Amino acid sequence: MNTLTIRLLATPGAVPLARRAVREHLGPGGASRDAELCVSELLTNALTHIGEGTPVTLRVTGRATRTRVELTDPDPRAWPVLRHAGGNEESGRGLALLDALALRWGVEQGPGTKTVWCELGPGLEPGHSRDGRVALITGG
């Protein structure tokens, strides 16, 4: 198991830097492209809903059959909500995209933090966890 950990500020400039780091960490291929897109969406959500300049920690763990992407931020109150944006809306598609790409995803609450995570790889119907729920939300 090989883990990339990056501490950064949620800014527009951080998105391409994080994508590049993920690409270099995972190497070329489909897993890297999907992970880069999920990183973009998670980081953009933090930027949009928590605020520019928020300190976040990105973790990407690559295994033989699974890649796990996690973004931890210091606002345990701003939980992501999966919604379906209308055709003319300019935002609101990030989690829907993550839901479509990920095998499963969810939120874990820590002391003074929350971590939004997703898992990518073969083996499950994309967008659904083993127990049939789309989003796994856990406290702890």
Domain boundaries, the chain: 2-138
pLDDT tens-digit series, residues 52-80 = 999 999 999 987 688 999 999 999 887 77
Say what the pLDDT of residue 122 is.
75
| Mean of all residue pLDDT scores within the chain | 82
From 3.30.565.10, 3.40.50.300, 3.40.640.10, 3.90.1150.10, which CATH number describes the 2-138 domain? 3.30.565.10
Contact predicate 60/68, CB 8 Å: yes
Give the strand pairing for 113-120 and 104-110. antiparallel
- pTM (2 d.p.): 0.81
Query: What burial class does residue 100 get, using C-beta atoms within 10 Å of its C-beta: 0-12 exposed, 13-18 middle, 19+ buried?
Result: exposed
pLDDT tens-digit series, residues 73-132 = 999 887 776 766 566 655 566 788 888 889 999 999 999 999 999 999 875 444 444 444
Contact predicate 124/60, CB 8 Å: no
Say what the pLDDT of residue 133 is.
37
